[in-house]
Amino acid sequence: MFDVATALSTVDRGDGCDDVVHGRLLRSGTGQGFQTAVPGGQLSELVARTPHPPDLAAWTAQAHRCGQVTVDDQDLPTVSTTTVTPAPAVPGAQTLSYQQVLTLPGQQAELPGLRLRTVAVAAGDVLVLLRDAGTTGLDLDTLAVAAWQHAAPRLGR
């Protein structure tokens, strides 16, 4: 178990885009997760119970508004390009799916940036989140639905 609040990063500029850029779907709660290396990158999963569940529809709208943002949290600015993709259908739950590519300003087009893909499923106070980084080739939609089907009954959903 870990405290989600202690895992948050960066300072919010107040425009809501920091949440999108940093994939911050939770403000508080507890959860269990893992991160593992897979061919082409890494995969992370988080199953969380939170008193303040994210509104994934509102988060999706914010992700559309923050399609391309320059972030300068550290010494090196980064350009975040976020593309909302069709999310898997899960009866009785909200879903979210997006891809984010991080590049350096002025980076040559032929050099790929770091690709992150996120799929989330939420209902009530339960959130299941899967994220892969790199070129894993994983079907994250199918994996997220399977993770939801596995976790939700044990969490009262």
Q: What is the pLDDT of residue 15?
A: 65
Give bridge partners of residue 43 from the DSSP assignment.
36, 132
pLDDT band at 9 (very low <50, low <70, confident <90, very high): very low
Instruction: Express as a percent the part of the chain with pLDDT over 70.
Output: 84
pLDDT band at 13 (very low <50, low <70, confident <90, very high): low
Residue-range definition of the domain harbouring residue 55: 2-155
- DSSP per residue over 60-111, as a string? HHHHHHTSEEEE-SSSS-EEEEEEE-PPPP-TTSEEEEEEEEEE-TT--TTS
User: Residue 9 is part of a domain; what is its CATH number?
Assistant: 3.40.1000
User: Is pLDDT at 29 greater than 80 in this prediction?
Assistant: no
pTM (two decimals): 0.83
Contacts of the segment 90-95: beta carbons below 8 A, 24+ positions apart: 90/121, 90/123, 90/145, 90/148, 92/123, 92/157, 93/121, 93/122, 93/123, 93/148, 93/152, 93/157, 94/55, 94/56, 94/57, 94/121, 94/122, 94/123, 95/56, 95/119, 95/120, 95/121, 95/122, 95/144
Q: How many domains does the chain have?
A: 1
Cα(105)–Cα(135) distance, integer angstroms:
21
